[in-house]
């Protein structure tokens, strides 16, 4: 017993020693962790300081990059990535990069011809079955073209024509405008960029596919290393195939659906919208489409082939023949209302198989069940709020008499491939505007005439507090001009560049402004198509407004358009695949915008446009969402970026209102936003109406001077700025150019009763020097003056008639 007590005492002592040791180790460990935490905190502070310094340097670099980077630097030529066999997802979507402005791209607007006309345009070229199979396999092995539907691939193969190149021939030249996609059948070619060899391509490879999407320059050269045989198809043929296939399928499906009793009361525009809700599913001969006794929530329409219906009296009996279902017949309507137990078997009974249009209950409820009542509500109570705009306290009617000669340029707000945007003022009252000038030559070269007219027509009719206002348009021989509302808070893109990322509450505000703009546009049947931070301007209150409607189009409810356009990182899959697109593509771009504003980068981004498109086609589920995105934000983005357009939030039965009701916007005051009483998360510093400190500086010397009357205006920029500053310092009521004013008085004081010729005859014979200097609107003034008076004015103002001038008369667009 004594020994047991000693043993217990000894064990207790050992246990106590062990506990003391553990406590000591624990204390040492805590001290060690504390020391490490201090070291980590210190290093994090150093890293944060360095990151801040790097960001500051990047911002400075970006400011100068904005001046030097032009649209010609945009990498939109041939895709050579597939030849290197690198993974498209090797480039993380959230990798930090030097932020530069992105240039939007567009194909030529597609001429909307009837399907039967498109059939005539397509020309098939004879080729063997072996060659057809070879070309089909090559397309199916291409990262982009494999996403096309089989009937489209077959049509492309049929329309491809042969080309032969001998050893040393240049097949594609870097910098040339591309129009063809190629498939190599025989031989080898060499790919080079800036005279540096990148790789070689052999038989069975596709190259140059970016050229069939839109008008772009080749970014690499391809030279034959041996005698080569290739097959090619041009962009116009490709677009015709895609458009024809889409229109034929939509028309065919529409005819099938409108003859079904369940949908016969729906209007044509509603039916057109819900056609895409149906999935096309194929079944091989003998395959069960539905089984008797199974639970079902899908409705079927037979689109191709014939199906057999069988039914058994009980589960132990053999099913017996009941009837056949032909094209246009349907089954399973009850499943749209509630879960149905299938009362019969439906089996494909056609040697060529059966194709059905399939609609599930959820899609029916989301898109169709309340569609009619929603449209009726929208017709009786328009969603968008109408506004009346006043400028400088004066009615818009004052702008009707505004001439281009009344406008003086203050400074440049931005430059791009189209031309420039200038801050200008009306010399009559010192009201400030933004003047967007676009080069006619560039518009015609890029075949964008239709897009420019769309921009003008749409912006002239919009009245929304979330869309930049267009007041007036002009044109001369070289330029088109748009007089716009000023937003001196700068671009949201600039703020994002300087900040790196935004907090979610800030993004909620900016995206809400976009949603209000989209609600207004979509209600009018207008598709925007070019959402990105670069196209969002901040006003003095920090509210953002949509600008640049170059790709906007009025398509109407239930209709689609087919032109490839947008900014690569923001285009929706249906645009890339030429399936036809509508307002659902704007919902997609809204999801991309929210992702980019929160994380600092778009979810889909590659080293060139073709890689970006291929990543987009992999879908939003393939993207790794950073932890910076909250759960609700991630869910909203994923719902906005569904692959199937009809599944996107904002496109379903309640439209944009579904987005506003999403949990991510819980607690957000939409009414205060619309009233303009909600305080913006960032209020830009704007000290006066010519304060351009929120915009990047654009050096005058780096830009070519246009050969028109605005050249004279630009040389006076400093004088105008000085005059404006003097105006603010002295509080004068206004000023105008004395020389110009004196000239106008001289013109108006001439004897208007003197008979010379009609205005048109006089102006046609008038010396260009005088016409150029006066710069008046010929349609608004009566000026029959004599040749003697003409000569007097020429001598008085020392006008050189031998100086080469263009015709500088100004007119309004359209």
Domain that holds residue 474: 403-484
Whether 196 and 327 share a structural domain: no
pLDDT single digits (tens) 636-687? 999 999 999 989 999 987 889 999 999 999 999 999 999 999 999 999 999 9
Whether 521 and 643 share a structural domain: yes
DSSP string, 731-747: T-S----HHHHHHHHHH
> Which pLDDT does position 699 carry in this prediction?
67
Active-site residues, by number, are 530
Within a domain: 237: yes
Within a domain: 111: no
pLDDT single digits (tens) 264-314? 777 776 777 778 788 889 999 999 999 998 888 899 999 999 999 999 988
96 vs 613 pLDDT, higher one: 613
Within a domain: 470: yes
Whether 500 and 639 share a structural domain: yes
Whether 278 and 318 share a structural domain: yes
For the chain, give the percent of residues with pLDDT over 70.
74
Last residue of a domain, one of 460, 484, 508: 484
Within a domain: 380: no
- Do residues 593 and 636 make contact, with C-beta atoms less than 8 angstroms apart? no
Q: What is the CATH number of the domain that holds 518?
A: 1.10.510.10
Within a domain: 5: no
> Using 50, 70 and 90 to split pLDDT, how confident is the model at 261?
confident
Q: What is the CATH number of the domain that holds 414?
A: 3.30.200.20
Nearest to 435 by CA among 406, 462, 392, 463: 406
SS3 call for 433: strand
Output the CA–CA distances (angstroms, integers) from residue 314 to 177, 290, 307, 740, in the order listed. 69, 17, 22, 98
Whether 566 and 602 share a structural domain: yes
- Do residues 530 and 563 make contact, with C-beta atoms less than 8 angstroms apart? no
Q: What is the CATH number of the domain that holds 295?
A: 2.60.120.10
Within a domain: 389: no
> Which pLDDT does position 369 carry in this prediction?
60
> Using 50, 70 and 90 to split pLDDT, how confident is the model at 98?
low
Of the listed ranges 50-59, 473-482, 591-600, the one predicted with least confidence: 50-59
Of the listed ranges 10-19, 152-161, 318-327, 709-718, the one predicted with least confidence: 709-718
pTM of the full structure: 0.68
Q: How many CB atoms sit inside 10 A of residue 534's CB? A: 21
Whether 501 and 476 share a structural domain: no
- pLDDT of residue 712 exceeding 50, the answer is no
Q: How many CB atoms sit inside 10 A of residue 565's CB? A: 24
Please report, in angstroms and rounded to a whole number, the separation of the first and last CA atoms in the chain: 116
- pLDDT of residue 782 exceeding 60, the answer is no
397 vs 25 pLDDT, higher one: 25
Last residue of a domain, one of 434, 462, 484: 484
Name the CA radius of gyration of the chain, rounded: 34
Whether 480 and 496 share a structural domain: no
pLDDT single digits (tens) 123-150? 899 999 999 999 999 999 999 999 998 9
DSSP string, 604-663: ---SSHHHHHHHHHH-GGGSPPPTTS-HHHHHHHHHHT-SSGGGSTTSSTTTHHHHHTSG
| Sign of the CA dihedral running 694, 695, 701, 705 | negative
Within a domain: 15: no
Last residue of a domain, one of 675, 707, 737: 675
Whether 621 and 527 share a structural domain: yes
Whether 479 and 573 share a structural domain: no
Q: Domains in the chain: how many in total?
A: 4
Within a domain: 665: yes
> Which pLDDT does position 41 carry in this prediction?
76
Whether 473 and 585 share a structural domain: no
Structure tokens at 312: 């058994």
320-325 β-sheet, strand order: 288-290, 345-348, 307-311, 320-325
**Chain centre to alpha carbon of residue 116:** 31
Whether 292 and 436 share a structural domain: no
Whether 412 and 509 share a structural domain: no
């Amino acid at each position: 017993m004594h020994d047991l007590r000693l043993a217990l005492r000894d064990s207790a002592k050992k246990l106590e020693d062990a506990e003391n040791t553990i406590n000591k180790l624990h204390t040492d460990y805590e001290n060690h962790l504390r020391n490490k935490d201090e070291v980590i905190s210190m290093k994090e502070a150093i890293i944060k300081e360095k990151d801040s310094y790097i960001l500051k340097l990047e911002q400075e670099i970006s400011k100068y990059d904005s001046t030097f980077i032009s649209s010609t630097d945009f990498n939109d030529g041939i895709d050579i990535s597939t030849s290197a066999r690198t993974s498209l997802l090797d480039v993380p979507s959230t990798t930090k990069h030097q932020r530069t402005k992105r240039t939007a791209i567009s194909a030529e607007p597609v001429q909307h011809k009837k399907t039967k006309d498109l059939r005539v345009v397509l020309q098939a070229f004879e080729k063997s079955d072996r060659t057809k199979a070879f070309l089909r396999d090559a397309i199916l092995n291409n990262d982009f073209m494999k996403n096309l539907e089989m009937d489209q691939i077959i049509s492309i193969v049929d329309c491809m024509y042969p080309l032969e190149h001998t050893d040393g021939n240049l097949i594609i030249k870097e910098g040339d405008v591309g129009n063809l996609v190629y498939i190599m059948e025989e031989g080898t070619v060499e790919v080079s960029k800036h005279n540096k060899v990148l790789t070689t391509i052999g038989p069975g490879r596709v190259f140059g596919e970016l050229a069939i999407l839109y008008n772009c320059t080749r970014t690499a050269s391809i030279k034959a290393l041996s005698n080569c045989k290739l097959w090619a198809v041009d962009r116009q043929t490709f677009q015709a195939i895609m458009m024809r296939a889409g229109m034929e399928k939509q028309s065919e499906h529409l005819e099938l659906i409108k003859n079904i009793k369940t949908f016969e009361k729906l209007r044509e525009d509603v039916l057109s919208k819900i056609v895409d809700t149906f999935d096309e599913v194929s079944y091989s001969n003998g395959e069960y489409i539905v089984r008797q006794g199974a639970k079902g929530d899908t409705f079927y329409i037979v689109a191709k082939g014939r199906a057999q219906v069988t039914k058994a009296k009980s589960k132990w009996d053999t099913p017996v023949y009941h009837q056949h279902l032909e094209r246009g017949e349907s089954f399973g309507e009850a499943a749209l209302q509630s879960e149905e137990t299938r009362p019969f078997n439906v089996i494909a009974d056609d040697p060529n198989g059966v194709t059905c249009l399939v609609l599930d209950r959820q899609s029916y409820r989301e898109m169709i069940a309340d569609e009619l009542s929603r449209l009726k509500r929208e017709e009786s109570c328009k969603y968008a709020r109408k506004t009346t705009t006043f400028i400088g306290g004066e009615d818009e009617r004052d702008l009707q008499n505004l001439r281009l000669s009344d406008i003086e340029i203050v400074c440049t707000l931005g430059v791009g491939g189209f031309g420039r945007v200038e801050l200008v003022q009306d010399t009559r009252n010192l009201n400030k505007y933004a003047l967007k000038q676009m080069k006619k030559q560039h518009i015609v070269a890029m075949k964008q005439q239709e897009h420019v007219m769309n921009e003008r027509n749409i912006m002239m009719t919009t009245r929304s507090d979330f869309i930049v206002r267009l007041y007036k348009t002009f044109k001369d021989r070289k330029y088109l001009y748009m007089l716009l509302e000023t937003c001196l808070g700068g671009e949201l893109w600039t703020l994002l560049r300087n900040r790196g990322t935004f907090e979610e509450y800030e993004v909620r505000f900016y995206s809400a402004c976009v949603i209000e703009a989209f609600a207004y546009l979509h209600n009018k049947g207008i598709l925007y198509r070019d959402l990105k931070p670069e196209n969002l301007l901040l006003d003095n209150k920090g509210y953002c407004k949509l600008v640049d409607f170059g790709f906007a189009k009025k398509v109407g409810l239930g209709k689609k358009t087919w032109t490839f356009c947008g900014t690569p990182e923001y285009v929706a899959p249906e645009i890339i695949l030429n399936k036809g697109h509508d307002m659902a593509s704007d919902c997609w771009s809204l999801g991309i915008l929210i992702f980019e504003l929160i994380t600092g980068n778009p979810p889909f981004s590659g080293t060139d446009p073709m890689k970006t498109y291929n990543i987009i086609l992999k879908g939003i589920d393939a993207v790794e969402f950073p932890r910076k995105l909250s759960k609700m934000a991630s869910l909203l983005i994923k719902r906005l970026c569904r692959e199937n357009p009809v599944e996107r939030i904002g496109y379903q039965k309640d439209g944009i209102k579904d987005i506003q009701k999403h949990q991510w916007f819980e607690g957000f005051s939409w009414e205060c936003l619309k009233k303009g009483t909600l305080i913006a998360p960032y209020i830009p510093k704007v000290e006066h109406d010519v304060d351009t400190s929120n915009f990047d500086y654009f050096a005058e010397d780096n830009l070519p001077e246009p050969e028109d009357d605005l050249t004279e205006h630009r040389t006076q920029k400093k004088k105008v700025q000085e005059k404006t500053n003097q105006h603010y310092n002295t509080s004068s009521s206004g000023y105008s150019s004395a020389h110009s004013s004196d000239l106008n008085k001289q013109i108006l004081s001439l004897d208007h009763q003197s008979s010379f010729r009609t205005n048109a005859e006089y102006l046609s014979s008038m010396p260009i020097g005088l016409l150029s200097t006066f710069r008046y609107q010929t349609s608004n003034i009566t000026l029959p003056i004599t040749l003697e008076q003409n000569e007097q004015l020429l001598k008085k103002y020392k006008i050189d008639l031998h100086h080469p001038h263009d015709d500088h008369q100004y007119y309004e667009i359209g």
